[in-house]
């Protein structure tokens, strides 16, 4: 049994992670701003993570074996957490994103066309941190989401106050009505209404992960491995937007209708004109086993279709 603190954990796969850790017998504490209570028998600390004094006060004298940070988006947030949890934990796991590899958002080392992107492409131990940028501005943060995640990872990796691992998640799908990004629903609505889907004519493959598989990997990263550094989290089998549309159309009993645009032009979610499909080889070498995207995607789409057909209460 471990004492585990989850920062966030009030919705979508964070909530499922809390439930899974609790079911495994761990003592779980959730820190959030009080927007949603955790499950029964989970300790709940209400604090704004952006307020260092409030966070430190809420923590009191508590210490933990592991911190799982679900909602760190900027180096400023990371620096506050690094100071607040120094001396309180031996391990810190941050949920990160595939978008750290997006070549449209940073000057990154070249990867051979079609080759899965490995973790060393973005090394948080050497990445430059810029605290002077306007990270508190919501519009700036939205436009620089990938860089915020890169620099947040870098703060933790360069802190040395505890062992640090980042889980770089692929595009998360599943959960039916709880599918929180709305990106899968974008396709489902267009397929079911025979509306054109705007995609790149030469869309490149990307990678996905089911939210339950991501939860399992986060639990593994928190409790079953001492590995540090970034770990890519994606199911086996890259898929381009046309392949995704084919699965949705088959489940809906309809036909996907596309409108092609050139590289560089705006398109629907998951249509990429640049390559950054991740490699999951490191996680496998460390002992984690992944499913194949094509094994779970049809049922995830069916669940989402059922959610759209269900009458609203």
In the beta sheet, which residues pair with residue 230? 166
What pLDDT band is residue 71 in, cutting at 50, 70 and 90?
very high
Q: Which domains does the chain have, with CATH numbers?
A: 3-306 (3.40.50.720)
pLDDT higher than 90, residue 122: yes
Determine the average pLDDT of the residues in 176-199. Answer: 86
pLDDT of residue 221: 98
Residue 294 has which token pair? Answer: 């094509």
Q: How far is CA 84 from CA 3, 81, 283, in A?
A: 17, 5, 29
Cβ-contact 16, 212 below 8 angstroms:
yes
Show Cβ contacts of residue 301 under 8 Å, excluding neighbours closer than 6 positions.
184, 188, 247, 248, 251, 252
pLDDT higher than 70, residue 125: yes
Give the three-class secondary structure for 69. Answer: strand
pLDDT of residue 312: 52
E-strand stretches of 123-276: 163-169, 171-173, 197-200, 208-210, 229-233, 258-261
Q: At what angle do helices 75-85 and 145-157 cross, to 10 degrees?
A: 30
Determine the average pLDDT of the residues in 252-268. Answer: 96
pLDDT of residue 313: 47
pLDDT higher than 70, residue 179: no
- Measured in degrees and rounded to the nearest 5, phi and psi for residue 237 equal 100, 90
**What's the predicted TM-score (pTM) here?**
0.95
Three-state SS for 288-304 is: CCCCEHHHHHHHHHHHH
d(CA 96, CA 84): 20
Cβ-contact 65, 4 below 8 angstroms:
yes
Tens of pLDDT, residue by residue over 291-305, are: 999 999 999 999 989
What are the residue ranges of helices labelled H in 113-240? Answer: 138-143, 145-157, 183-192, 211-223
Q: In what order do the strands lie in the sheet with 91-97?
A: 43-46, 27-32, 3-7, 66-69, 91-97, 163-169, 229-233
């Amino acid at each position: 049994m471990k004492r585990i603190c989850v920062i966030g954990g009030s919705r979508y796969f964070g909530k499922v992670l809390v439930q899974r850790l609790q079911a495994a017998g761990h003592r779980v504490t959730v820190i959030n701003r009080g927007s949603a209570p955790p499950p029964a028998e989970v300790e709940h600390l209400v604090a704004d993570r952006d307020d260092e004094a409030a966070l430190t006060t809420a923590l009191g004298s508590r210490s933990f074996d592991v911190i799982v940070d679900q909602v760190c988006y900027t180096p400023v947030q990371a620096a506050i957490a690094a100071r607040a949890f120094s001396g309180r934990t031996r391990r810190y796991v941050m949920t990160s994103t595939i978008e750290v590899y997006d070549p449209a958002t940073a000057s990154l080392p070249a990867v051979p066309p079609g080759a899965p992107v490995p973790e060393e492409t973005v090394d948080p131990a050497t990445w430059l941190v810029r605290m002077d940028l306007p990270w508190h501005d919501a519009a700036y943060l939205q436009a620089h989401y990938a860089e915020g995640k890169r620099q947040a990872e870098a703060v933790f990796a360069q802190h040395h106050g505890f062992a640090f691992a980042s889980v770089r998640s692929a595009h998360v799908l599943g959960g039916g009505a709880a599918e929180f990004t709305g990106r899968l629903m974008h396709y489902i609505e267009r397929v079911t209404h025979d509306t054109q889907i705007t995609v790149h004519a030469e869309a490149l493959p990307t990678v996905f992960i089911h939210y339950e598989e991501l939860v399992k990997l986060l639990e593994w990263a928190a409790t079953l491995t001492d590995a540090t550094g970034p770990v890519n989290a994606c199911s086996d089998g890259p898929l381009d937007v046309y392949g995704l549309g084919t699965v949705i159309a088959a489940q809906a009993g309809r036909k996907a209708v596309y409108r092609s645009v050139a590289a560089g032009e705006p398109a629907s979610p998951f249509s990429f004109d640049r390559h950054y499909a991740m490699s999951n080889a490191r996680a496998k070498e460390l002992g984690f086993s992944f499913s194949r995207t094509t094994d779970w995607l049809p049922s995830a789409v069916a669940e989402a279709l059922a959610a759209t057909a269900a009458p609203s209460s």
